[in-house]
Amino acid sequence: MLDTVTIVGASLAGFWAAETLRRDGFAGPIALIGEEPHAPYDRPPLSKKYLAGELDDDRLDLVPANQLDDLDLDLRLGCRATGLEVASRTLEVDGIAEPFDGLVLATGARCRTLPDTAGMDGVYTLRTRDDAAAIRDALAAGTRRLTVVGAGFIGAEVASTAIQRGVEVTMVEALDTPFGRALGTEMGAVVADVHRSHGVELRTGTGVDRVLGGDRVTGVRLTDGSTLDTDLLVVGIGVVPATDWMEGSGLILNDGVVCDATCLATDRVVAAGDVARWPNPRYEGLMRVEHWDNAVQQGVHAARRLLQTEQEATPFAPVPWFWSDQYDRKVQLAGRTHPDDDVQVAVGSTVEHRFAAFYGREGRFTAVLGMNRPRYVMQAKALLEQDASWDEAQALAADWN
């Protein structure tokens, strides 16, 4: 039985782990350690309403201060985990070693950056509240030209917000089809068309050769030889799990903290959120999911796993899903796509940018993508949770039409 629990990462997953421990009756001390100076906050608005200046700082907080106080946490903000040794159950925080009893690892991930841009004014990644505030202030200060490197969903949301503030936006993507890695070629092209229709210039099949400027960015030279003048550069080329401080800890680290199917990394140590990699029984191999819903669910599951015996523990087996707001379109994806999937529009029209499309492979229903069709996506997600066949998905589509 655990006497104390330490949670590293005042993130969404970390907060829900703490909340779950208290809700399930754990009365011992809980330390919540966060590298940022802010209390746990919500990240999805950072690239949308917060970036647009439509949301105040206090509206980002996951819960009001009094509700956070009710959890009776040892909240240690602005503190960084710097080392870990699981054999001796020792955690190092800002270079000082301290013992732990039960440990939740919810440190999230860090943004990839472009070479030779550290300290250059006007170059940003978007991961934290402070990142978003800096980009928001730059947009409000009269930025005329924005270049977004990486046509993933964070980059797409930044582009959408900036366009609606009257900024000229160019989005650069190394793949031939934007969003192709997540959505496949056909559906990636549909989302790309949404951006073009709103005035975004898309440069695909090319990457960044060099960022131009001295103390401040002035432009970007691309690998196709062209040059873009820019006032502001936002880099959205993916993230890496924040595990560097765990090297030599005794944990298995491989694109995250490797856990078993129940989120247990080793005795009395669990992981949750962007940093966790585990075998979801629904899918082949290990997976790591970087979405809001997964952070919430996995934070809950991992906290409960700490309190359970091996016999009581159950696998963490969600159907991954996420959403993205771009212009007046809500894009939702549930399931797990694969480059070899067959894709079929089940209802609506891709031309009108209002549809739901099914993905399938080898007789199995694998994913659903929706654009402004939330009710249909939720119905299809329920079918995915039943491990439905492609024929069963076709029957659902027939009911819709």
> Is residue 151 within 8 Å of 178, Cβ to Cβ?
yes
User: What is the domain class of 113-235 according to CATH?
Assistant: alpha beta
Task: Give mean pLDDT, residues 19-43.
Answer: 97
Instruction: Determine contact, residues 369/323, Cβ cutoff 8 Å.
Output: no
Fold of 5-110+239-307: FAD/NAD(P)-binding domain (3.50.50)
Cβ–Cβ under 8 Å, residues 285 and 279: yes
Per residue, what are the HEC states of 365-394? EEEEEEECCHHHHHHHHHHHCCCCEHHHHH
Predicted local confidence at residue 178, as pLDDT: 87
CB 135 within 8 Å of CB 155: no
Q: How far apart are CA 367 and CA 381, in angstroms?
A: 8
**pLDDT tens across 258-290, in order?**
999 999 999 999 999 999 999 999 999 999 999
Which residues of the chain does CATH 3.50.50.60 include? 5-110+239-307, 113-235
348: left (phi over 0), alpha (psi -120 to 50) or beta: left
Mean pLDDT of 53-76: 94
- Mean of the per-residue pLDDT values for the chain? 96
- CATH, range 328-400: 3.30.390.30
pLDDT tens per residue, range 104-124: 999 999 999 999 999 999 999
pLDDT of residue 182: 87
Local structure of 62: helix, strand or coil:
coil
Residue in 42, 14, 215 with CA at minimum distance from that of residue 120 = 215
Q: Where do the CATH 3.30.390.30 domains begin and end in the chain? A: 328-400
Find all residues with CB under 8 Å of 61, minimum gap 6, and list them.
39, 40, 41, 42
Query: Which residue spans within 101-200 are E strands per DSSP?
Result: 102-105, 109-111, 123-125, 145-149, 168-173
